[in-house]
Amino acid sequence: MNSIKTNVAAMTALQSLNQTNKALLETQNRISTGLAVSTAADNAAYFSIATTMKSDNAALSTVQDALGLGSATVDVAYTALESTISVVDEIKTKLVAAREPGVDRVAIQSEISQLQSQLQSISGSASFNGENYLSVDSSAAGYNSTKTIVASFTRTGATVAVNTISLDITATVLFDASATSTGILDTSYTTTSSATFTVATLDIASLTDSAADLTDLEDMIQAVDTAFGLITTGASNLGATSKRIELQADFVSNLMDAIERGVSQLVDADMNEESTRLQALQVQQQLGIQSLSIANSGSQNILSLFR
């Protein structure tokens, strides 16, 4: 039945065209944003997961920065310890040379004094971002010999946690300004003749070839060798920590990439699919317009019946 009041064909064509336009708008939005899920209305579950994981990835980016800072601090300390090892080894070599009877120990001490000054300089300058693992004051307020480096951000359900890499710098401290604690190089030793000295202050200028003085010299050589071993151990600890930080930094970087890929799978639009859909919808839109035009022309055809 044809009616001039209700154009059923036009209503059907209009509804179809509106649906096509709506789908076309969604497809155009996906193409312009690159996202299949850009709001919670698109897919509430995926939107919630993606938003949470993006936030966690931002936290991991901060962890990555912290690992970089921690790595730089440890590397500075390690480099300084390597230099210290070389200087202490040189001091030991000078002391062994001084053990030879008849040598000019005053001249040798002059060289040792310069090396001792270098030890102070190395430890004092081994600072990065205000952190110095070699020269400290353990009596200072808030001092903590255990240094921590933010290493990871983890989520278990709704619970999050920040994990750290810990480093005890007790084995790396060369000088301690505290009156009650000492570092490796300012630890006091006692010679057989009851004289006290440290690696950083020992002085052989007044020693002679007497049996007692030569024994004291040997005590100094032993003390320097002991310090050498302790510093080497400290450097090994720093090296192991540096390697762990490097491995963790690589892991965090890979983890961030994996999370980003996962989020992409949830919310990113498939541009090949959207492009194909766009072309199909554009054709449907054109056909819908033509269909509506045909349906609207039906009312005009009724007029011909009255001519």
Reported as a pLDDT band with limits 50, 70 and 90, residue 267 is: confident
Instruction: Report whether pLDDT(245) > 80.
Output: yes
Q: Which CATH number fits domain 61-236: 1.20.1330.10, 3.40.30.10, 3.40.50.10860, 3.40.50.2300?
A: 1.20.1330.10
Determine the pLDDT at residue 89. Answer: 97
Confidence (pLDDT) at 307: 60
pLDDT digits (tens, 9 = 90+) for 65-115: 999 999 999 999 999 999 999 999 999 999 999 999 989 999 999 999 999
How distant, in Å, are the alpha carbons of 130, 176, 209, 217, 258 from that of 108?
A: 36, 27, 15, 13, 61
* Widest CA span in the chain: 144
Average pLDDT of the chain is 88
Residue 152 and residue 142 in contact, taking contact as beta carbons nearer than 8 Å: no
Q: Give the dihedral of Cα atoms 14, 19, 24, 30; nearest 10 deg.
A: 160
Q: What is the mean pLDDT of residues 147-166?
A: 91
pLDDT digits (tens, 9 = 90+) for 160-211: 999 999 999 999 999 999 988 999 999 999 999 989 999 999 999 999 999 9
CA–CA separation, 214 vs 26, rounded Å? Answer: 92
Report pLDDT for 8.
Answer: 67
Q: Is the dihedral of CA 30, 33, 34, 35 positive or negative?
A: negative
Q: Residue 183 corresponds to which tokens in the numbers above? A: 């570092």
pTM: 0.78
The confidence score (pLDDT) of residue 306 equals 62
For residue 112, which of 212, 214, 199, 176 has the smallest C-alpha distance? 199
Instruction: Determine the Cα–Cα distance for residues 307 and 134; give it in Å rounded to an integer.
Output: 108
Domain boundaries, the chain: 61-236
Segment 189-195 long-range contacts (CB within 8 Å, at least 24 positions apart) = 189/219, 189/220, 189/223, 190/219, 191/215, 191/216, 191/219, 191/220, 192/216, 192/219
